[in-house]
Chain A
Amino acid sequence: MTAVASTGFEYVLRLGDDRLVLGHRLSEWCGHAPILEEDIALANIALDLIGQATLLLGLAGKIEGTGRDADALAYLRDAIDFRNALLVELPKGDFGVTIVRQLFFSVFALLQAEALQRSSNGELAGIAAKAVKELRYHVRHTADWVLKLGGGTDESHRRTQTAVDDLWRYTGELFLGDDIDRAAAASGLGVDPSTLEKPWQTTVRDVLGRAGLTIPESPYMQRGGRTGRHTEHLGHMLTEMQILARSHPGASW
């Protein structure tokens, strides 16, 4: 693999892994959401993300050029080889945690997809155009929920505020932007995530503000996911997600 191909592979892998891991986390709500309508809504969002991940990992495999397809990348890698941000691998927590995380990620992913529609890679631009429509709805749905939970009962407000306090320190990693991101941006393939932070802050602060929620003061931000240093939670999640594919290699149904 040439250096250019390797950069492209790593870059697209990050996009795919964010969506695969968060899609799986969301799917854990299936049958457990607070009300049937929301159960269906969360499953729909999870499926959107897993659909995006399938396309992105397929593209990553193609760029890598060693014959790995989306299934091989999703099911046959260990935690250390995953490139998702830490935010998306954290346990689903209560409904407040799930919704706040989903808002944080959806706003980020929408900005990213809007920019990626102009990617020099036609396939990536096409995937992004499809994702934009889905992500706009994800932002609308989760922002609406944050407003309701933040302005709801004392308990819903307290839980949602706790979720913001706990998750905020994982948002910085989304915008870090390292050599791979900069190289991907320079080649026209990708977008440097650091350019997305300002509009993300504007949107998220607006929603949290209207919901009566405050942003924690601490400037400390967690990082590591983009280079394979994950929390313990990812390994447990992958065990469950990958067991079928690993127990029955090559099975189809």
Chain B
Amino acid sequence: MANETSTSRTDTSTATAGDSQWPLWEVFVQPPGGEPHEHAGSVHAVDAESALQNARDVYARRGEAVNIWVVRSSQITASTPEDMGPFFDPGNDKPYRHPQFYKVPRGIRM
């Protein structure tokens, strides 16, 4: 099991070939109560069925899940650290993106 997530556009399944011959899979677990799936971690496995079983054993043993997704890490396209600025700049100079000018009518609870 490796806990690193895909943080670049490189194929992480080959990037981690040093500690296992098996491909890496990212695990997304849906908690009870209709919450959306959340990234839980990753597992090594030779195919999707094994990845599901390993994910179940590693991340969903104590009733934390009602559903599991597994996806090959190499299939994930992620933004790179260099993208930080252009992708995520909060745009503080673009106040129209933040709806703080509206007056909240009385009686509306935030």
Contacts and interface: CB of A to CB of B under 8 A. Distances in A.
A37 B46 contact: no
B20 interface: yes
Interface residues of A, number: 12
Nearest to B58: A40
B61 A37 contact: no
Interface string B21-50: 010000000000000000000011110011
Contact of B49 (A37, A38, A144): A144
B57 A40 contact: yes
Interface residues of B, number: 15
Given A35-B20, A140-B53, A141-B53, A148 B58 contact: no
B17 interface: no
Nearest to B54: A37
A141 B57 CA distance: 10
A49 to B, nearest CB: 15
- The dominant DSSP class at the A interface is helix
A72 interface: no
Interface string A36-53: 111011001000000000
A172 B60 CA distance: 36
Given A35-B44, A36-B44, A140-B53, 13 more contacts: A37-B1, A37-B43, A37-B44, A37-B45, A37-B54, A37-B57, A38-B54, A40-B57, A41-B54, A41-B57, A44-B61, A137-B56, A144-B49
Interface of B: 1, 20, 22, 43-46, 49-50, 53-54, 56-58, 61
20 contacts: A35-B20, A35-B22, A37-B1, A37-B44, A37-B45, A37-B57, A38-B54, A40-B1, A40-B57, A41-B53, A41-B54, A41-B57, A44-B61, A137-B56, A140-B53, A144-B49, A144-B50, A144-B53, A148-B46, A148-B50
Interface of A: 35-38, 40-41, 44, 137, 140-141, 144, 148
